[in-house]
Amino acid sequence: MRPIIGVIGNQHLINDQYNVQASGTMNCDALVNVAGCMPLIIPSNPQHVSVEELQACFDGFVFTGARANVHPEEYGEAETEAHGSFDRGRDTISLALIRACVASGQPFLGICRGFQEVAVAMGSSLHPEIRDLPGRDNHRMPPDGTLEEKFALRHKVMVSEGGPFHQVFGATEVMTNTLHGQGIKVAGPRVVVDGHAPDGTIEAIYIKDAPGFTLSVQWHPEYNAANDPTSRPLFEAFGDAARAWNMRRMGRSLKSA
């Protein structure tokens, strides 16, 4: 049986009226075709799910990108217009679930907003708009063009020699897309910054002394994951971690039966 991966959902309105929980198909495609897992979308609503139930049901989690940003109250700052829109239900589920997974060793992969959630859950703060900082590039999605143009590779990311990302990529320099406005301001005490863009923007992190897979990236590796030389090994490594957890979970289930 394939490992079952919870893909965090996002609150979304269809035709500005019908409320749904949704996630990009690219995330599921990458999990199926590269990681070898079965994805299930999680409604990010604390009235529907609990952290304890989620951990009992899944072998790992993907915290995806989203338009809504982590609310600044979660890192001790006041809300401003620059912080954009929010999804407080997702904040409630994701931040608590990340902390629980760090403690238990259950694997997760953070992507874009998910990367920022991992950072905030572990005590980091965020810049509301990276492009407004002196010397920084505009990391936002290009407003025009095809999907291929929006997700095109746009800058290098340099990772630490000998670190976990180097081990996954087999290189200390990779090319990535970039589609985000916010970024890490001050990293939390256990947040290890392992990769930067050329302008200094933090692009890759993991959690110090965590017993499980906690690699998280600011870019979008789910796009073209089966063919991209940076994305494919990242999802393969996550899939391996989820399979290892699945074997332990199944072993625990057999013993308790």
Which are the catalytic amino acids? Answer: 112, 220, 222
Asked whether the beta carbons of 42 and 27 are under 8 A apart, the reply is no
254 by Cβ neighbours in 10 Å (0-12 / 13-18 / 19+) ranks as: exposed
127 bridge partner residues: 183
What phi, psi does 197 have (nearest 5°)? -80, 165
Q: Which helix (H) or strand (E) holds 25?
A: helix 25-30
Distance CA 171, CA 138 (A): 25
Asked whether the beta carbons of 225 and 212 are under 8 A apart, the reply is no
Asked whether the beta carbons of 220 and 141 are under 8 A apart, the reply is no
